[in-house]
Structure 1
Amino acid sequence: MQPGDLLLALLANTAWAFNFIAGKAGVTHFQPFLFTSLRFAVLLLLLLPFLRRIPGQMGGVLGIALVQGVLHFSLIFAGLEASGDIASVAIASQLYVPFSTVLALFLLGETLDARRVVGIALAFGGVLVIGFDPVVFRHLDALLLVTAGAAAMALATIQMRRLRGVGVFALQAWIALCATPALALLSLLFEQGQWSALRTASTLELAAPVYSAVGASLIGHGIVYYLLGRYPVGVTTPLLLLNPVLAVAFGVLLWGDILTWKLALGGAMTLAGIAGITISLPNRKGVRTA
């Protein structure tokens, strides 16, 4: 990979990692459904030029909008609100990788080799270790919410594999169009004080959903989509393992998280398992296998 593209990969990882800080700050003031609706409202305004009907793909696009836009993001931000730290959320959210690998086995007919089986076991075992960290143990509901959000993202990933000829910004525009009103309705039904939260929000608090839309979706996903167009998946996806590492570092440095040995051990186990699933290895003929 060219040095300039490596810097782009670093920028994408940093943008995604800092999104955990922005999300935690946002749900500290806004309730999760409201925050997520605001995030997608900003994204929708920015991506309106990409919003057009996609013949033959609308069923799949709308399914992804429901699973990723409504379920995944609302569960992740609800987990951030309930959590006592950012690091555990950042690590547990990566469970979408082993979840999607297992789902692909049943829904797409893909196969699992011994390396991936070990990787899946290691990833889930790492999250179990994290669950016994005292800070996380007091907020197990947060860990469960984030794990459910990772499962929703895994299902959306399987749905995305079935799409053909759909650009990343067009897909995100449709997700935003569907998720914004759905999450606003959920906020009206299950949350209170929306107008007060909007009226009293500071500039930094209002910046949180804006950053989440611009930094995570436009910059992060846009860069990764660009890199996937230039390099094989086996080259690009392992670089994304830097995202939770940076998120943990940001949590410690900027949010005051305490990196205990259980969190460090569980995080290392989870990331090692995910690396085992995603990083391709050369076979005896020198051909890399996914």
Structure 2
Amino acid sequence: MKAADIFLAVLVALVWGVNFVVIKVGLGAFPPILFVALRFFFAAVPAVFFISRKGIPWRWLIAIGMTLGVVKFGLLFVGMNMGMPAGLSSLVLQCQAIFTLFMTALVLKDVPTKWQACGVAVACAGMGLLVSDMSGTPSFTGLMLVIAAGFFWGVSNILMKKVGKVDMLSLIVWMSLVPPLPLLGLSALMETGQWEAVTHMTLTGASVLFYIAIISTVFAFGIWAHLFKQYSPNMVAPFSLLVPIFGIVSASVVLGEEFTAVEMTASCLVLGGIFLVVFGNRIAERVGKLRAA
């Protein structure tokens, strides 16, 4: 990759990592489900008037919008609102890689390699350690909701795979039209204070909405889509491993979050397992070539 494109890939990971801190701040200004609805409304409008749908079928936009927008982000925001720290959320959400691997094997019949299976085992050990450590704490329910969000992110990954080769930015912008109405309905049933949050919006509230809707969604996904057009997904996708690192660091600096020894050990296991899932086969192949030479 060109140096400029490596910079852009790292920039996107930074934007998405810091996004968890921004979400945490925004939850102090908006009820969580309303917050998600506003995020997708402003991600879609006015972008849909400038970005073409490019023939993406509505059935896929609705399916992905409901799974990714309503369920995944709804669970994530509610989980963080129930006490899950921003840094830990950025890490735990990466369990989507584990769920995606399992669902790829079941739905697409793509059997994982031994290195991927090893990576899943290591990451699951880390997740199990986190669950055990947080069991009985006020944040435990939030942890389980974020894990569930990772599962539905995995489901949406499979849906995106099934939709075929489409323009990713167009997909993100147009599927963002789907979540607001269902989320507003859920918010009306489950939350209070929505009118006050909108009519008395502070500069902080407006700023976090701008960040998560425009910078984190439209801007970052636009760059990500550009990189995927220029390079193989195998070259671009691994940069997403930087997201929880940036998330943990920014949460520590901005919010003063600290990891316990157990949480740090579990985090290393999760990141190490995902690293094996992504890079294990390539490392084994290169070692084999070096030995053969």
TM-score where L is the length of structure 1: 0.92
Aligned to 1:10: 10
Query: Residue in 1 aligned with 2:171?
Result: 171
- CA–CA separation in structure 2 for the residues paired with 1:61 and 1:248: 32
Paired position in structure 1 for 2:218: 218
Partner of 1:104: 104
Match of 1:115 in 2: 115
Find the counterpart in structure 1 of residue 36 from structure 2. 36
Q: Secondary structure of 1:138's partner?
A: coil
TM-score, length-scaled by structure 2 = 0.91
- Deviation of the 1:132 alpha carbon: 4.2
Question: Does residue 1:200 correspond to 2:200, yes or no?
Answer: yes
Q: Is the 8 A contact 2:84 2:143 kept in 1?
A: no
Q: Which amino acid aligns with 1:149?
A: A
CA distance in structure 2 between the partners assigned to 1:167 and 1:140 by the alignment = 38
Partner residue, 1:78: 78
- What is the CA deviation profile of residues 189-219 of structure 1, one whole-angstrom value per residue up to 9, with x for unaligned ones? 1111111112233101221122101122122
Q: 2:140 & 2:10 partners in 1: Cα distance?
A: 31
After superposition, residues 1-290 of structure 1 pair within 5 angstroms as 1-48=1-48, 49-50=50-51, 52=53, 54=55, 57-133=57-133, 137-279=137-279, 280-281=281-282, 283=285
* Partner Cα distance (2:66, 2:174) in 1: 10
Once the two structures are TM-superposed, the CA of residue 138 in structure 1 deviates from its matched residue by 2.9
**Equivalences, count:** 285
C-alpha distance in 1 between matches for 2:259 and 2:249: 9
Distance 1:258 1:135 in 2: 18
Pairwise CA RMSD of aligned residues? 1.9
- Give the C-alpha shift of residue 160 in structure 1: 0.4
Distance 1:114 1:273, change over 3 A: same
Once the 2 structures are TM-superposed, how far is the Cα of residue 50 of structure 1 from its aligned partner? 2.4
Q: Is the 8 A contact 1:51 1:173 kept in 2?
A: no
- Letter paired with 2:197: A
Distance 1:89 1:61 in 2: 26
Structure 2, unpaired ranges of 5+: none
**Structure 1: segments with no counterpart, 5+ residues:** none
